[in-house]
Amino acid sequence: MTPPLSVDVAVIGGGPAGMAAASAATGLGCRVGLVDSYPLLGGQVHRQAWRRLGAGQDPVAGLPRRFRGLGADPGVRLHLGSSVWHARQVTGGFELLLTTGESVHAGAVVLATGAVELVLPFPGWDLPGAMTPGAAQALLKGQGRLAGRRVVVAGSGPFLLPVAAGLVRAGATVVAVAEASRLRPGVLGRPGVWRGLSSSPAKLAEGAGYLSALLRRRVPLLAGWAVTACRGRSQVEEVRLSRLAPDWAGWDRERWVRADTCCVGYGFVPSMELARALGCGERPRRGLPGSAVVVGPDQSTSTGGVFAAGEVCGISGAAAAELEGLLAGRAAACWVGKRGGRPGPPTASVRRRLARQRSFAVALEQLGRIGAGWTAWLEDETPVCRCEETTWAKVRQAVGAGARDLRGVRGLTRAGMGYCQGRVCGPALALAVAGLAGRGLAEVGDLATRSIAWPVPLGTIAHSAGPG
Amino acid sequence: MTGRHTADVIVIGAGLVGACCALALSEAGMEVCVVDRRGPAGGTSAAGEGNVLVSDKLAGPELALALRSRRLWDELGSRLPLDFELEAKGGLVVGRDEEEMAAIGDLADRQAAMGVEVERLGPGDLARAEPLLAPDLAGAAYYPQDACLQPMLATAGLLAAADRAGARLMLGIEAAGGTARSGAGMTISTSAGVLGAGAVVNAAGPWSGEVARGLGSTIPVKPRRGSILVTEPLPLAVRHKVYEGDYVAAVVDDASSLACSAVVEATRSGTLLIGSSRQFVGFDATPDVGVLGELARRALRLFPFLSRVRALRTYSGFRPASPDHLPIIGADPAVPGLWHATGHEGAGVGLAPATAELIAALVTGTTPPVDPGPFSPSRFAPAPGARCNG
């Protein structure tokens, strides 16, 4: 077996949280290993264009100035284009097993694994041209390519706006932006909502900027509307927009619009595989599928030496992720005994800014809940798991046959057994099965596995997974 | 706590053994109620490979039960209106050298004497049967009767058939304990109230020891953990169930530490399943990546091409292990009205129909087609008088 590389702090994830954690830890004198599956740093938010195959491209050149130092920092070793398929506690710290066959030993770990998009299936969502907003944004940022010429952006949550604005600026025609939630006057009166929204004027201004970009190009902005189907011969040609009933269990108006692409996403679900492998305590998310890592004020998890930052602790946005990363990097450095001169802003002020960002995120979450009746737009033949082509009718039959949780449904229908292992369909399936079985989201469970966080060649497992 | 009369028989456990018992008892004319704290196949049944094997049984009573069960699976497959993917893919037990081949041949001779179909393959035949195997293997024994099925589909289908035959399914309901009724039968307390029946069948797999305790008895069933690696789907690359010649030794190895032996097979969807590991670690489900490494290393020795094939996930579960590696089927020696159908370790899927046939015959007082003596729970009871010596 290859001798493992040894670092003080291993950071998993090269987005805002991971980069901030790595910067903070190396600033305190730690040797840091930073792992990300993309060949360049930045994560989804700061995704850089990938121009060359093979080595040679500067992994930090396209990043905001404050992160560029990571590229030349002798204290930081970058493991890019590589995924951690398993993480475990070993004597003296932690061992990360990488899909490249390398392993990294670390005294402390910062989990900055981010989140995946929540997709609610609809008839036609398996056609080419139907994708998530994140996929369209990754195409644009990573490869400079437009997802399509005539695009419908739909779903729920604040992420729809920058995606639509980005597409418009790059020259696409955005046919409509449809937000499924409807802003009703009563919502602003809910505890924390008004205060949360008003706590971050910068964020409101950012949103206003996207809105004005869209309005200047006369993009229709619809509230209370959703994509409930799309159709086409070999790819998306038409998209059905429906004005939803209050709990989404049907609609009173619909119209088919011509489009070659529809980008539909309903927010994000934390990527919990490695947090689970390391035994970190987690909390359910109110009314939403999936769970999030529980962290203390210094971003420590219930597993000593493991810290978490960013969306894996709950969806709070890039600014909060960066602040959490800073705190996690400092705490991880402290854990391994590095507490020298502390560069950067004082911790108390970081926490104050973080609290504002989080209350903004909580307020947004209150605005956009998923209507319990969304399954009304599924047809018997709609695939709910694209890898295994499991239809909605089969899922209903499985629950009818006595399956009471996601694992039971998976066993009877193969939903979630394909290449993505339920990363795409699992959260929607959880919502659907909870509805069918009349149980809570926590009771139906999820499909996240704990041993293999990412597909890995058997040769790599044979080579690097020694006795614990 | 007299308990109303719920059914003639309460089956505790809606895994494959419980489902087969429910169907067999219903078809024998009994009024049956199935209780399980989870859904169908919520435990061990869903955690294995769906093995219906004769090749891995030593020549003895378990092999007789396996041969009977193999026939019953064919019958169930043809008479039930459902597809549980029963496939007689055949088993290949491969040996690396002449010494292993001698042991494999010796076992095959004794199995053949009991009616098992088995054929020796030299290196050339082996390469034709399974072209992607490592070229340096010495040979194999080929068992055409070895089959597999999709245990979750089978369990759900058998429960549905039992339901049609009049059985009642109480899923999501936990059986907490119970007592023998005066006269005959038992009373069971559950999370859905008190149930009463003339007989109770304990088909709770690795949890059957706890169930027995709750009902005032003891049986020596221990959980034995196993883990399986699942690969990405491949075009038909492995045709049979292929396993190392030391598999049978691993089954009967009682080490509490790890016993491993490579078992590789394809499922109908194209994914490969790679086992097998055996550990006595209680019900500890903590991921153990060292076990995965050992499984992968062993599988690569059989199929070098697997090195580049990606594993997508793992699953693990607990086998109900009995101390002498024989199932525990029959009347409880201490508690009248209590019957056990458990202790199959990793063979429960294959042995389920014959186990159910035995239970139905014993409960209804008819003559079973296979001698139930070797499986009797009373073999673990203390010898008469032994209790007084302590």
- Domain membership flag for residue A81: yes
Residue A366 lies in a domain: no
Tokens of A357: 């960002």
The answer as to whether A351 is a domain residue is no
| Residue-averaged pLDDT of chain A | 91
Candidates A451, A454, A460: best to mutate against B (most CBs of B within 10 A) is A451
> For B311, which of A418, A456, A466 is closest by C-beta distance?
A456
Whether A133 and A92 map to the same domain: the answer is no
- A465 and B289 within 8 Å at the Cβ level: the answer is yes
Q: Which amino acid is at A170?
A: A
Residue in B232, B299, B315 nearest the CB of A419:
B232
Tell me the chain A residues in contact with residue B303 when contact means C-beta distances shorter than 8 Å. Answer: none
* Among A76, A106, A261, CA closest to A175: A261
Which pair of structure tokens corresponds to residue B5? 């009369």
With bands split at pLDDT 50, 70 and 90, how would you rate the model's confidence at A188?
low
Tell me how crowded residue A152 is: count the other CB atoms within 10 A of its CB: 28
What is the rounded CA–CA span in Å between residue A406 and residue A390? Answer: 13
CB of B156 within 8 Å of any CB in chain A?
yes
Confidence class for position A186, pLDDT limits 50, 70, 90: low
Look up residue A314 and give its DSSP letter: -
Q: Say if CB B315 and CB B271 are below 8 A apart.
A: no
Tokens, residue A330: 């400092």
Measured distance CA(A263)–CA(A265) in Å, rounded: 7
User: What's the rounded Cα separation, in Å, for the pair B236 and A384?
Assistant: 26
Phi, psi dihedrals of residue B169, rounded to the nearest 5°: -105, 125
Q: Are residue A95 and residue A109 in the same domain, yes or no?
A: yes
Task: Provide the sign of the torsion angle of the four alpha carbons A411, A433, A111, A301, taken in this order.
Answer: negative
The gap from C-alpha A167 to its chain's centroid, in whole angstroms, comes to 20
d(CA B240, CA B267): 10
Q: How many domains does chain A have?
A: 3
Which positions in chain A touch B230 (Cβ < 8 Å)?
417
**CATH number of the domain that A76 lies in?**
3.50.50.60
Minimal C-alpha gap between B231 and chain A (Å): 8
End of a domain among A213, A248, A266? Answer: A266
**A465–B231: do the CB atoms touch at under 8 Å?**
no
B167 and A CB contact within 8 Å: no
Residue A329 lies in a domain: yes
| A421 contact residues in B (CB cutoff 8 A) | 312-313
Q: Report the alpha-carbon distance of residue B150 to residue B388 in Å, rounded.
A: 49
Q: Which of B225, B289, B298, B307 to mutate to test the interface with A (most CBs of A within 10 A)?
A: B289
Q: Which residues of A touch B152 (CB under 8 A)?
A: 408, 411-412
Asked if A400 is an interface residue toward chain B (Cβ–Cβ < 8 A), one would say no
Test B152 with A411 for CB contact under 8 angstroms: yes
Grouping H, G, I as helix, E, B as strand and the rest as coil, residue B33 is: strand
- Asked if B39's CB is within 8 angstroms of A403's CB, the reply is yes
| Confidence band for A294, pLDDT divided at 50, 70 and 90 | very high
Residues in chain B with pLDDT < 50? 1-2, 386-390
Residue A457 half-sphere exposure, CB side, CA atoms within 13 Å?
16
Residue B3 to residue A283: CA distance in whole angstroms: 41
**What percentage of chain A carries pLDDT values higher than 90?**
72
pLDDT at A441 over 60: yes
Cross-chain Cβ contact A457/B152 below 8 Å = no
Residue A395 lies in a domain: yes
Q: Is B38 on the interface with A (CB under 8 A)?
A: yes
Q: Do A464 and B299 touch (CB under 8 A)?
A: no
* Residue A360 domain-assigned (yes or no): no
Q: In 3D, which of A266, A260, A261, A259 has the Cα closest to residue A244? A: A266
Q: Measured between alpha carbons, how far is B317 from B255 in angstroms, rounded to an integer?
A: 18
Can you name the residues that pair with A383 across neighbouring β-strands? A391
Query: What's the confidence (pLDDT) of residue B182?
Result: 72
C-alpha distance from A380 to closest chain B C-alpha (Å): 20
Read off the amino acid at residue A47: R
Q: Are residues A9 and A20 in the same domain?
A: yes
Q: So what's the pLDDT on residue B390?
A: 34
* pLDDT tens digits, A412-439: 998 988 888 888 899 999 999 999 999 9
Joined together, the tokens standing for residue A232 give 């086409």
* Residue A456 touches chain B, beta carbons under 8 Å: yes
| A399 and A414 Cβ atoms separated by less than 8 Å | no
Interface touch A459/B300, C-beta < 8 Å:
yes
Q: A-chain residues within 8 Å CB-CB of B172? A: 404
- Is the predicted pLDDT of residue A370 greater than 60, yes or no? yes
DSSP structural state of residue A423: T
Chain B contact present for A88, CB below 8 A:
yes
Residue of B nearest to A421 (CA): B312
> What is the distance between the terminal CA atoms of chain A, rounded to a whole angstrom?
14
Rounded Cα distance between B210 and B199, Å, is: 18
Per 3-state DSSP, chain A is made up of helix, strand and coil in percentages (nearest 5) of 35, 25, 40
Query: CB A201: neighbour CB atoms within 10 A?
Result: 12
The count of CB pairs under 8 A between chains A and B is: 124
CB A299 within 8 A of CB A324: yes
Residue of chain B with shortest Cα separation from A439: B172
- Are A126 and A35 within one domain? no
CATH number for the domain including A403? 1.10.10.1100
- Structure tokens belonging to residue A183: 């802003």
Q: Which residue on chain A is closest to B298 by alpha carbon? A: A462
Beta bridge partners of B328: B342
Strands B139-143 and B186-190: unpaired
Same domain, A88 and A128: no
Of A404, A411, A418, the CB nearest to B172: A404
Domain that holds residue A43: 5-116+269-344
Q: Sorting pLDDT into bands at 50, 70 and 90, what band is A365?
A: confident
Q: What whole-number distance in Å separates Cα of residue A107 and Cα of residue B283?
A: 30
> What pLDDT does residue B1 have?
43
Which residues, in sequence order, are bridge partners of residue A221? A177
Of A279, A419, A451, the CB nearest to B289: A451
In a domain, A365, yes or no: no
Give the residue-averaged pLDDT of A449-457: 88
Shared domain for A23 and A109, answered yes or no, is yes
Is residue A314 domain-shared with residue A248, that is, in the same domain? no
| Minimal CA separation from B167 to chain A, in Å | 14
Which one of A216, A242, A266 terminates a domain? A266
CB atoms near residue B96 (< 10 Å): 17
Contact B296 A459 (CB under 8 A): yes
Strand-pair partners of B95? B139
Q: What is the DSSP string of A10-70?
A: EEE--SHHHHHHHHHHHHTT--EEEEESSSSSSTTTTPPP---SSS-S-TTTTS-HHHHHH
Give me the numbers of helices (H) and strands (E) for chain A, helices first please: 15, 22
Q: Which of B34, B268, B277, B310 to mutate to test the interface with A (most CBs of A within 10 A)?
A: B310
Burial of B362 (0-12, 13-18, 19+ CB in 10 A): buried
Q: How far apart are CA B351 and CA B339, in angstroms?
A: 17
A199 pLDDT tier (thresholds 50, 70, 90) = confident
Sign of CA dihedral B53, B56, B59, B61: negative
Pairing verdict, β B175-180 and A130-131: unpaired
Q: Which residue of A has its CA nearest to B295?
A: A462
Interchain contact A386–B (C-beta under 8 A)? no
For residue A450, list chain B residues with Cβ-Cβ distance below 8 A. 287
Could you give the CA distance from residue A68 to residue B123 in angstroms, rounded to a whole number? Answer: 60
CA distances from B91 to A65, B94, B130, B349, B352 (A): 62, 10, 11, 16, 19
Residues A131 and A214 in one domain: yes
Q: Give the minimum alpha-carbon distance from A91 to chain B in angstroms, rounded to a whole number.
A: 15
Cα–Cα distance list, A194 to A156, A161, A190, B31 (Å): 19, 20, 8, 61
Q: A262 with A300, same domain?
A: no
Which of B159, B310, B314 shows the shortest C-beta gap to A449?
A: B314
User: Does a structural domain hold residue A332?
Assistant: yes
Residues A143, A251 within the same domain: yes
Disruptive mutation site among B49, B152, B158, B170 for chain A (greatest number of A CBs within 10 Å) = B152
Residue A3 has pLDDT above 90, yes or no: no
Token reading at A307:
């810290």
Name the token pair of B347: 């063979």
- Establish if A68 touches chain B: CB-CB under 8 angstroms: no
Q: Specify whether the CB–CB gap between A312 and A87 falls below 8 A.
A: no
Of B211, B217, B210, give the one whose Cα is nearest residue B188: B211
A81-106 pLDDT, tens digit each:
999 999 999 999 999 999 999 999 99
Residues A216 and A336 placed together within one structural domain of the fold: no
Nearest CA in chain B to A401: B156
Q: Is the same domain home to A159 and A95? A: no
Count of helices and strands (H, E) across chain B: 10, 18
pLDDT of residue A195 exceeding 80: no
The answer to whether A303 touches A278, Cβ cutoff 8 Å, is yes
Contact A468 B289 (CB under 8 A): yes
The residue out of A216, A235, A266 marking a domain boundary is A266
Residues ≥6 apart with Cβ < 8 Å to A280: A111, A293, A294, A301, A302, A303, A306, A308
What b/e readout covers B103-120, taking b as 16+ CB neighbours within 10 angstroms? ebbebbeebeeeebebee
Min Cα distance A449 → chain B (Å) is 7
Alpha-carbon distance B297 to nearest alpha carbon in chain A (angstroms): 5
Using the Cβ of A468 and the Cβ atoms of chain B, whether some distance falls under 8 Å is answered with yes
Q: How far apart are the first and last CA of chain B?
A: 33
Q: Quick count: other Cβ atoms within 10 Å of Cβ B126?
A: 22
Q: Which of residues 64-123 of B touch A (CB under 8 A)?
A: none
